[in-house]
Amino acid sequence: MPEKIHQRFDEALTLGLLSSPVVDKHVAATSNIKKRKRLLPPQSTVPLTSKDSPRVAGDKPEKPGSVISRTGHAGLKERAAALAPARKKLPIWSHASTICSGLQDRDVMLIVGETGSGKSTQVPQMLVEEPWCRTQRLCISNQSSQEPLPNSVNGSRPESLQIGGRIAITEPRRVAAISLAERVAQEMGTPLGSSSPASTVGFSVRFNNCTSPSTRIKFLTEGMLLQEMLRDAWLRDYSAVVLDEVHERGVNADLLLGFLRGIVTGKKEGRGGAVLKVVVMSATAEMQTLEEFFEQGFLQESAGEDPVAHEDATAKIDLPDAESEWSGISSSDDEDEGPRGNGGEGPTTSPIQHVSSCHVEGRQYPVTIHYEPKPVQNWLDAMLRTIFHIHYKEPLPGDVLVFLTGQETVETLEKLVKEHEKDMRADVPKLLILPLFAALPQDVQQAVFQRPPPKTRKIILATNIAETSVTVPGVRFVIDCGKAKIKHFRSEIGLESLLVKPISKSAATQRMGRAGREAPGKCWRLYTEQDYLDLPQSNTPEILRCDLSQAILTMQARGIQDIYGFPFLDRPRREAYEKALMHLFQLGALDKTGCINQIGSQMAQLPLSGALARTLLAAIEPEMDCVREVIDIIACLSVENIFLKTTSEESKEQAETARRAMYRREGDHLTLLATVQAYAAENTDRKDWCRRYFVSHRAMKAVMDVRKQLHSLPLFGKSLSTDPSERSVLTAELSACVRKCFIQGFAYNTALRLSDGSYKTVAGHQKVAIHPSSVLFGKPVRAILFNEFVFTNKSYARGVSAVEMSWLEDAWKEPGLEDG
């Protein structure tokens, strides 16, 4: 590593350790270093105990705030110093000057680098002490913006405004945002998220804001930054936004790219003209596509077009009708495959001028790949065999990372491995089996970072969450089922479902790569080589396969006037926009003229899907008055499955008998309610209660978490803070109200029984059957409401409740909406 880089690293490290709250821009950057050094607290001479010994990658992360209470600031600094040598070796550091100087000259930087090269942890630390990252106090002369300025009192417009000082780093997943914040706080020797002025690192994920006024590096999920943008479209708190893991291409990332392009290329009136630096980081994304995307924004701006309108917070949109022209896009022939890279605005003609880029090489050891000789019929069985093959044949240390499709397959395999583990010879090393999927409670997720005890092999059973988001140390062996659960919206029937689909070549490469981070590794692909060759090169971005209602609601709440002209990296089809607008209209989020109304604005601000947000808002209405009950059900729905899966007929019968006390003849929603409330009221041994009722204790802990956080939403003020173990008296009236609220959110997920006993959805005329997991399975009712559309060997409605015909008539009474 060249000397200059060492110096930069040391500087960043020193500054990181000494980070103070935001400082004024007038403080010269150079004199800062010396001044801050004088502010250093005296070095601690307290030796580290073994308990306090510096953490290395893979140690169990501390709970926020726990480190400082135990070791004080000196302990934190020593930990940071112990991590420094490993940090210095990360490939990203040999690009530090390219990154920093690139961002001094230009406002957009693209960084492409292999997973593990140090992008997420090091880039924020490199940037935070750059001169442009100071808080600026600016005089606002521009009066064109209609938005109230953030520090205005009684509507009077202030003369000066504080801008920037913070860096936001967005992650597609909660687990990544939290674990990265913990790691960066350790590396910088600062307590995480605390209100101590020394705390410069924090995180914000749904229902959990761990930041303070002194936070300068803030990791947050993409959804949380979108929420912040609803409160402050100009992101005035920030000097830079770093979009991490853009290769995942979730809808939220695509929305952020569009919004940020608007800010960075526009006049920034709301920021008093202060620049916002944007860094886009990715493991695989096409650099040129992103470059063209941003350059196109600059080009439009210089041509006098407004890339994204910011001013009008009550923007009006035109609801499409059958005759309407596709605004901005003329031919319907190109709807499926719009030109990529510039939001469908045609090829870039100008030379690249505003965007810097940097390619960081990976740190990858060779990985040997094993393919199956012929297609595998039962891949769970193949997984089990491969896990034990590795365990018996491969040396320790060497943990195993297994890629599965979802909670259900993870839990099934977990059970199978545990059963087979019992038959292992006593002289064989032990197994530590750890599940890892999005719906797990935070502490269970964090357990995968633990180092296993001696003579033990860690087996991590994960969904694609571990593909790029999370770095699990110690992994040398990967088993890849070659599939993943992906969201797919079928616009013709207006329903979204999760489908198990083959992954892309690029995802397979990412999965394989996890085996070669620390040493040469091995990867077992449970599919044939030909199957691999037949995989598509990359995943279809979510924006092209999901229901756009949420995205459109966010755009409208953010004041975007021309939603069709929004600069998406990949343009969704016209039909998808139309369906989404109709859906929003049906949800009551738009008024008759197509403007977002109060309900729509409230929905956009709730940390829930549109359907659930609408349901919750309905429950607050005085004539419904069932908000506690609806919250309990929503909390359950946020966890994939609370009931334990039974494997044998015998255990299935036992479970049925045990759970009968909770079953409600009205259906699954009220059964979930009864289960949550029975669990919450249990105050002796909840774990034992779960065992008796075949309920997942792990899932229930996550449900309780979400429930508590929903109770504390600002929407409710203090009215919900009564006894959490109180059980509802489920009268017929209350039961009806709860289901009516769900109909308000899920009218598209309602169906009527046909003469042959099957069901047809009201909106899309799609045939569905009641899923065998439902309490209404085999118990025909006239009309149903369902939570989820599942397509396996046939179309199923899952999470089903019986509803009255008259309730459906009420939900669909808006003229012209009968057929979606």
**Residue 403 Cβ vs ligand CDP, minimum distance, rounded to whole Å:** 17
As measured in angstroms, the least distance from the Cβ of 181 to ligand CDP is 9
Nearer to ligand CDP, 510 or 615 (CB): 510
What's the angle, vertex CA 384, arms to CA 383 and CA 385, rounded to 5?
Answer: 90
Q: Least distance in Å: CB of 522 to ligand CDP?
A: 19
Number of residues that bind ligand CDP (CB under 6 A): 16
Say how far apart CA 260 and CA 278 lie, in whole Å: 7
Q: Counting contacts by CB under 6 A, is residue 776 touching ligand CDP? A: no
Q: How far is the CB of 286 from ligand CDP (least distance, A)?
A: 18
Residue 462 sits at φ, ψ, to 5 deg, of -125, 160
Q: Which stretch binds ligand CDP (CB under 6 A): 99-107, 118-126, 264-272, 338-346?
A: 118-126
CB of 787 to ligand CDP, least distance (A): 34
Residue 443 tokens read as 């502490």
Query: Which listed residue (113, 191, 270, 398) binds ligand CDP by CB under 6 A?
Result: 113
Report which DSSP code applies to 246. G
Nearer to ligand CDP, 467 or 640 (CB): 467
From candidates 16, 118, 189, 344, binder to ligand CDP by CB under 6 A:
118
User: Please, what is the Cα angle at 178 between 172 and 182, to 5 degrees?
Assistant: 140
Cβ of residue 277: shortest distance to ligand CDP, in angstroms? Answer: 18
How far, CA to CA in Å, does 757 sit from each of 18, 353, 752, 782, 783? 70, 64, 10, 9, 11
Of the pair 451, 574, the CB lying nearest ligand CDP is at: 451
How far is it, in rounded angstroms, from Cα 21 to Cα 12?
A: 16
> In whole angstroms, how close is the CB of 186 to ligand CDP at the nearest point?
9
Window 51-90: residues binding ligand CDP (CB under 6 A):
57, 90
Residue 48 DSSP symbol: P
What tokens were used for 283?
């493991």
Residue 179 interacts with ligand CDP (CB under 6 A)? yes
Region from 44-52, 179-187, 529-537, 760-768 binding ligand CDP, contact rule CB under 6 A:
179-187
Name which of 169 and 710 has its Cβ closer to ligand CDP.
Answer: 169
Considering the complex, state which of residue 116 and residue 567 has its C-beta at the smaller distance from ligand CDP.
116
Token representation of residue 188: 């910088």
113 in Cβ contact with 4 (< 8 Å) = no
Cis? peptide before 47, omega within 30° of 0: no
Among 15, 180, 253, 544, binds ligand CDP (CB under 6 A): 180
Decide if 114 contacts 106 (C-beta within 8 A): no
Among 71, 121, 125, 284, binds ligand CDP (CB under 6 A): 121
CA distance 233 to 242: 16
Nearest to 246 by CA among 205, 200, 283: 283
Asked if 294 contacts 355 with a C-beta cutoff of 8 angstroms, the reply is yes
Six-digit token pair at 589?
């989020």
Q: Give CA separation, 819 vs 227, 718, 765, 808, in Å.
A: 32, 41, 8, 13
Residue 752 one-letter amino acid: L
Q: Which is nearer to ligand CDP, 125 or 348 (CB)?
A: 125
Of 19, 71, 115, 211, the residue at the interface with ligand CDP (CB under 6 A) is: 115
Rule CB under 6 A: say whether 774 interacts with ligand CDP.
Answer: no
Nearer to ligand CDP, 180 or 280 (CB): 180
100 scored as a contact of ligand CDP (CB under 6 A): no
Applying CB under 6 A, among 120, 170, 446, 561 the residue interacting with ligand CDP is 120
**What mask, x for binding ligand CDP by CB under 6 A, covers residues 471 to 510?**
x-x-------------------------------------
Distance CA 807, CA 817 (A): 16
Contacts 24+ apart (CB under 8 A), 411-416: 411/435, 411/644, 411/645, 411/696, 412/380, 412/645, 412/647, 413/380, 413/383, 413/384, 413/461, 414/461, 415/645, 415/647, 416/380, 416/384
Stretch that binds ligand CDP, among 146-154, 178-186, 381-389, 650-658 (CB under 6 A): 178-186
696 binds ligand CDP (CB under 6 A): no
Q: Is 117 in the site for ligand CDP (CB under 6 A)?
A: yes
What is the C-alpha to C-alpha distance for residues 463 and 478, in angstroms, rounded to an integer?
12
Which residue, 362 or 429, has its beta carbon nearer to ligand CDP?
362
Stretch that binds ligand CDP, among 93-101, 110-118, 160-168, 781-789 (CB under 6 A): 110-118
Q: Taking CB under 6 A as the rule, does residue 116 contact ligand CDP?
A: yes
Chain residues in the site for ligand CDP (CB under 6 A): 57, 90, 113, 115-122, 179-180, 183, 471, 473
